[in-house]
Structure 1
Amino acid sequence: MEVIELKYKPLSVDENFYEFCSENDELKIERGSDGTIYVGLGSGGTTGMLNATISYWLMHWDLSSNLGHVFDSSTTFCLPNSSIRSPSASWLSSDNWNALNEAEKAKFPPICPDFVIELLSPHDELKTIQKKVQEEWIGNGCHLAWLIDPDTETAYVYRSNGEVDTIKGFDQQLSGENVLPGFEFDLSELKI
């Protein structure tokens, strides 16, 4: 995603930001906790295909486990630190999802997913997305996050206890650990 950073005074009501995003739904719009707005276009074909592959396997596991809900890359979450972000794919336990009311579920859910995946696209900078994973996802309560770089065939596994593992090569599997019991993702599914 090509990112254009714009500074603005944070809106006093997230409803206004939601309306702004709705009026510009052809763009991917996120907001950092400091009020920075990140604007980008949709994914390219290769990134979209890889996102679909990841979402398919996550959904396949979710349907068999029946433990929660999978969200695609168009889902935007309003996080506890006031940032508003969208991962490539995410999962939320049924208990956490059901704690939200219907109005919260319909717009930008005011909750951090239990699990997120960020897929690095050709326009993303690794350090920027690493910071997003660490500060926005893990820092707001995500229990497990994967950052996957298809170009270098590298995956980074972030845990809520602060541990980060680097996995080199797409001949390995990533585990959902205790967050997604029984979920294994074969990185070879992302080889182009």
Structure 2
Amino acid sequence: MQAITLTIPPNLNVFSDDELYAFCLANPELHIERDETGHIIIMPPTGLESSFTNNDLQTEVSIWNRKTKSGRVSDSNGGYTLPDRSMRAPDVGWVSKERLMSVLPEELKKFAHICPDFVIEVRSESDNLTELQAKMDKWLQNGVRLGWLVDPQSKTTTIYRPDQEPEEKPFTETLSGENVLVGFTLNVQEVLTY
């Protein structure tokens, strides 16, 4: 099953940020995002293997963050309203304390207007690789400072950085959080058990 995109006619001003949040609350069984054109994207649930992978990767980032206390970690249910008006929910997101200081606490109860510093997207069985690559580019365009596209099918992670070409690394190679998640390293092969 693939994602479904609901095309909203351009002459309709459908779904303000509050209305989108209400729509998502009214449909809790659906994983919903909005692209920069206002189209609503409904994604199927992932298989259990993808869920295990998401959780394992999020756990590693959360353990690092608990030690450093340098920001907050979100899972695939946490939606971010980005500068281009899209609302996206990465499989794993991390926001620095500095960026969080610009957000009012009540905004965090909805899809806050903030871009994560770091994201991980995991290619599930139903994901189209080209669409995921385009999504990673959109993350960068909106302010993400470091992104990883983890592909269990090819056993590679593609690293996305602003103003650079993506760099692909095999699961066997240790990844670095660079100057974004300072001191964080991850060997995907050691973390994911298949």
For the aligned pair, the TM-score class normalised by the smaller chain equals over 0.9
The C-alpha deviation readout for 1:73-124, integer Å capped at 9, x for no partner, is 1101100000011100010001211221122111001111000000000000
In structure 1, the residue matched to 2:143 is 141
Partners of 1:76 and 1:109 within 8 A in 2: yes
CA RMSD of aligned residues (A): 1.3
In structure 2, the residue matched to 1:3 is 3
Identity of aligned residues (%): 36
Q: Are residues 1:159 and 2:161 paired?
A: yes
Partners of 1:26 and 1:41 within 8 A in 2: no
In structure 2, the residue matched to 1:45 is 48
In structure 2, the residue matched to 1:19 is 22
Counterpart code for 2:98? D
Residue correspondence of structure 1 range 28-107 to structure 2 within 5 A: 28-107=31-110
How far residue 12 of structure 1 moved from its aligned partner, in angstroms, is: 5.6
Counterpart code for 1:3? A
Count of residue pairs brought into register by the alignment: 190
Could you tell me the TM-score, scaled by structure 2's length?
A: 0.94
Partners of 2:75 and 2:93 within 8 A in 1: yes
How far residue 60 of structure 1 moved from its aligned partner, in angstroms, is: 0.6
CA 1:140/1:50 → structure 2, altered by over 3 Å: closer, same or farther? same
CA 1:10/1:86 → structure 2, altered by over 3 Å: closer, same or farther? farther
* Structure 1 residues without counterparts, runs of 5 or longer: none
- Please state whether the residue corresponding to 1:131 is helix, strand or coil: helix
The C-alpha deviation readout for 1:43-66, integer Å capped at 9, x for no partner, is 221011011100110001001111
- Please state whether the residue corresponding to 2:160 is helix, strand or coil: strand
- Please state whether the residue corresponding to 2:53 is helix, strand or coil: helix
* Structure 2 residues without counterparts, runs of 5 or longer: none
CA 1:103/1:171 → structure 2, altered by over 3 Å: closer, same or farther? same
Partners of 2:36 and 2:84 within 8 A in 1: yes
Partners of 2:115 and 2:143 within 8 A in 1: yes
In structure 2, the residue matched to 1:170 is 171
Counterpart code for 1:130? Q
Partners of 2:46 and 2:126 within 8 A in 1: no
Q: Are residues 1:190 and 2:186 paired?
A: no
Partners of 1:170 and 1:190 within 8 A in 2: no
CA 1:22/1:12 → structure 2, altered by over 3 Å: closer, same or farther? closer
How far residue 191 of structure 1 moved from its aligned partner, in angstroms, is: 4.4
Could you tell me the TM-score, scaled by structure 1's length?
A: 0.95
